[in-house]
Amino acid sequence: MKKRNAVLTLLIVIALTVAFAFMVVYGVGRDKVGAASEIKLGLDLAGGVSITYQAVGEEKPSSADMSDTIYKLQKRVEGYSTEAQVYKEGDDRINIEIPGVEDANAVLEELGKPGALYFIAQYDADGNANYDSTTGTLNKTIDELKADGSIVLEGTDVSAAAARAYQDELKGVQNIVELTLTSEGTKKFADATTKAVTNHDSIMIYYDGAAVSIPTVQSAITNGQAQITGMEDAERAENLASTIRIGGLKLELEELRSNVVGAQLGSEAIATSIKAGIIGFAIVVVFMIVVFLIPGLCASLALALYIVIVMVLLNLFSDAFGLTLTLPGIAGIILSIGMAVDANVITFARIREEIAAGKTVNTAIKLGYEKAFSAILDGNLTTLIAAVVLGILGTGSIKGFAITLGIGIVVSMFTALVVTRRLLVAFFDLGVKDEKFYGKAKQTKNIDFLGKKNIFIGISVAAIVAGFIAMGVFASQGKHALNLSLEFLGGTSTNVAFNEDMSVADIDAKVVPVIEGITGDGNVQVQKVTGSNEVIFKTRTLSAEERTEFTDKMVENFGVEAEKITAETISSTISSEMSRSAVIAVIVATICMLLYIWIRFSDVKFGFGSVTALVHDVLVVLAFYAFSRVSVGNTFIACMLTIVGYSINATIVIYDRIREVMREAQYNTMTLEEKVNLCVNQTLTRSIFTSLTTFIMVAVLYVLGVTSIKEFALPLMVGIVCGTYSSICLASALWYIFKTKLAKAK
């Protein structure tokens, strides 16, 4: 019976892996549900639609009006994708880039023309009709309506508009549009609706030269919350809400141009990332089997199942929640793969310890999972809490990172705790019972980590201080403390019309190195305009001399006509609002992790120790960015978030062992320092092996990747090494210091 169940378990795991792999490649049904090719990719990986608007009017718009318009447009286009970007081009232009779409005309039609929006009273002060309520035709000009006070509200008086649906007992499902007004708009609308409700007059919503809705006033609206009822269907309600939202812009815009553009990171980014992932996975599989034998084989089979499940779920989330996969999203996947391996390594180390203690293999497997469960649960839940907070409070790439990380954590816990365990039991039941196939923990030299704590702390402080000094030196030289990229600072967008339709591969290989030679910066974004010979190059801000050199190089090396090269200054794509939300999200996530650790470990000192180690890792990597002058852009955010998740997980494992040892009576004869040293040494192999497997994945990405991928992978490798160092050398020492010093003070 056991052998039959074991064979059945193996067949089920293999069948599920093959089935999900089939879905990843081909999908299911006409819509290819589950297929990796259907996952929405961001502008950095796949490109999308680029639309440029220009402000209408003779006078140059103010920077405040431009900022307000950009912010509102950003909120509007996030309905297409969480990774959509809106930024300033020149003095009076706004560029919108939406990933994952290929029909610019369809986007323009749905987005609507950003123009003036007015709420117009049916009658003026003298009782004259302002419009025909049947046809929506105005009887006066807009200027005349403004002059006689018939304009009830303008678009800027509406702070939010959203389509809603509710169930009416008599009429069934009713679609409505809910409006939220500004404080000034609330007062104006209260006065207007109080007058209009007497005779149930209407108030026409007039946008872009036409009436879009003429609702009748049913009651006075004094609280700033209004509803427009009578929508024919959900689509009509959503279109009206969308029109009102975009009509609330301070500037009237007209379309200047629209293009379908290629990936910002170049065509090689995805190909090399996939190749690196396959090679990295293969190396990890070989490593796991060589080091852990049968358990390593089981973990590798479970890891293969984990990867295909994650890919299927990414497709489902892409459809259901508009998830767009970008480079930060890939970082989340890499981190979750590392954590999936981590859970297995923790368990296998426990199994080996039990075998070394004289337990049978079957008993060791059972006890190994029981004793490893708390460390796996706490480590994964701590990181999951951070992912949830980042997903709720973050925007753009941060939200994408959080979603992919969250999916990965949940799936990795399932595969590590359920699938790998079932496979281990299956192999045992099939007759693989000799302990030599599972390994036995060896007696290792007990290293006095706490005895060297002052040296470790001194090294860390020196590295962090050196980083701040480097930033100060660069700032004093008129440079930025960090090498901020165009995502933070803005830059120059140069449009080049080549004489031939160059392939993206040729552009990456021939043109980009020339531009990097001019800028001295590897952060060059390339967007090929589909269906033309035009290519858009985005770089840091170029001086007049550099722009001239850029033109000369294009003419000299590629025969481009000088008049076919145009350049515009563009603003940052990471707005101050996005930066602020990112900082707030990380702070809140850190506080939530601290509270969770405090509650789970019943000791706030564990929380302080883990958070201090986490801050240390971030500051050391920041110092690396300062010294190396690696470009700080979207990949910087992804790197820092990855380090936060990775570092806290590694520290939790050591703290879990300390918690266990502190509870067991057999260690009562040991001093606190001896207990802490014992715990660090007992988890040392696990810390090194887990870091090594994750490091391998990122290192292969660095070796094979293009320049932009390398600028992401290199700091991430530094972060992995730093996270391992802090978990082993600092986290336990910090807890010991807090424990002893605070106890003495008390």
Q: Check if the beta carbon of residue 706 is closer than 8 Å to that of residue 508.
A: yes
pLDDT, tens only, 376-423: 888 888 888 877 887 777 666 677 777 777 888 888 888 888 888 888
The DSSP code sequence of 429-489 is HTT---GGGT--PPP-----TGGGHHHHHHHHHHHHHHHHHHHHHHHHTTS-SS-B-HHHH
Q: Determine the Cα–Cα distance for residues 605 and 607; give it in Å rounded to an integer.
A: 5
* pLDDT at residue 684, rounded to an integer: 85
Q: For residue 202, what are its two tokens?
A: 């209407």
Nearest alpha carbon to residue 258 among 497, 54, 533, 2: 54
What pLDDT is attached to residue 459? 92
CB 110 within 8 A of CB 118: no
Spatial contact of 394 and 326, defined as CB atoms under 8 Å apart? no
Phi, psi of 574 (to 5 degrees): -100, 100
What is the rounded CA–CA span in Å between residue 732 and residue 131?
75
CATH number, domain 491-570, options 3.40.50.1100, 3.10.450.50, 3.30.420.40, 3.30.70.600: 3.30.70.600
Contact criterion met (CB below 8 Å) for 540 and 494: no
Kindly state the helix (H) or strand (E) to which residue 93 belongs, with its residue range: strand 93-99
Cβ atoms of 54 and 253 within 8 Å: the answer is yes
Residues of the chain with pLDDT under 50: none
Q: Which helix (H) or strand (E) holds 672?
A: helix 672-682
564: its two tokens: 């076919």
CA 202/CA 187 separation, integer angstroms:
18
Question: Does domain 117-248 match CATH 3.30.1360?
Answer: yes
Q: Residue 469 has what pLDDT? A: 93
pLDDT at 42: 67
Instruction: State the pLDDT at residue 396.
Output: 62
pLDDT over 70, % of the chain: 82
CA distance 621 to 467: 9
Q: Which residue has the tokens 């021939």?
A: 510
- Region at 431 (left for phi over 0; alpha for psi -120 to 50; beta for the rest): left
Check if 48-105 and 491-570 are the same fold.
yes
**Chain Cα centroid distance, residue 155:** 32
User: Mind giving me the DSSP string for 69-80?
Assistant: HHHHHHHHHTTT
Rounded Cα distance, 720 and 698, in Å: 9
Tokens of 575: 């707005």
Which residues partner with 98 through β-bridges?
A: 49
Distances (CA, A) of 149 to 125, 158, 200, 451, 471: 8, 18, 19, 80, 57
DSSP state of 727: I
pLDDT on residue 458: 92
Residue pointed to by tokens 């390339």: 526
Give the architecture-level CATH label for domain 2-39+270-437. Up-down Bundle (1.20)
> What count of residues does the chain have?
746
Whole-number pLDDT of residue 466: 93
The structure tokens listed for 84 are 């959509």
H or E element at residue 640: helix 634-663
To which residue do tokens 């970007």 refer?
85
Three-point CA angle 284, 286, 287, nearest 5°: 60
Q: What is the pLDDT of residue 206?
A: 85
- In 3D space, the residue among 706, 634, 715, 694 whose CA is nearest the CA of residue 272 turns out to be 706
Whole-angstrom distance, CA of residue 238 vs CA of residue 76: 12
d(CA 260, CA 105): 10
In sequence order, which residues have a C-beta less than 8 Å from that of residue 393 and are 6 or more positions away? 581, 584, 585, 588, 589
What does DSSP assign to residue 215?
A: P
Pairing of strands 253-261, 48-55: antiparallel
**Domain 48-105, what architecture?**
2-Layer Sandwich (3.30)
What CA dihedral angle connects 645, 647, 650 and 652, to 10 degrees? Answer: -80
Mind listing the pLDDT tens digit for each residue in 432-473? 888 888 877 776 677 888 889 899 999 999 999 999 999 889
Q: What is the pLDDT of residue 270?
A: 66
User: In Å, how far are 435, 440, 669 from 443, measured between CA atoms?
Assistant: 17, 10, 20
pLDDT at site 354: 85
d(CA 721, CA 701): 16
The fold for domain 450-469+579-745 equals Multidrug efflux transporter AcrB transmembrane fold (1.20.1640)
Q: Looking at residue 325, what DSSP letter applies?
A: B
Domain ranges of the chain: 2-39+270-437, 48-105, 117-248, 450-469+579-745, 491-570
State the pLDDT at residue 31. Answer: 57
Closest-CA residue to 423 (of 302, 515, 333) = 302
**Closest to 404 in 3D by CA, of 331, 319, 493, 499:** 331
The structure's pTM equals 0.71
User: Position of tokens 């490593």?
Assistant: 287
Q: Is 498 helix (H, G, I), strand (E, B) or coil?
A: coil
Q: What angle do CA 581, 583, 584 make, to 5 degrees?
A: 65
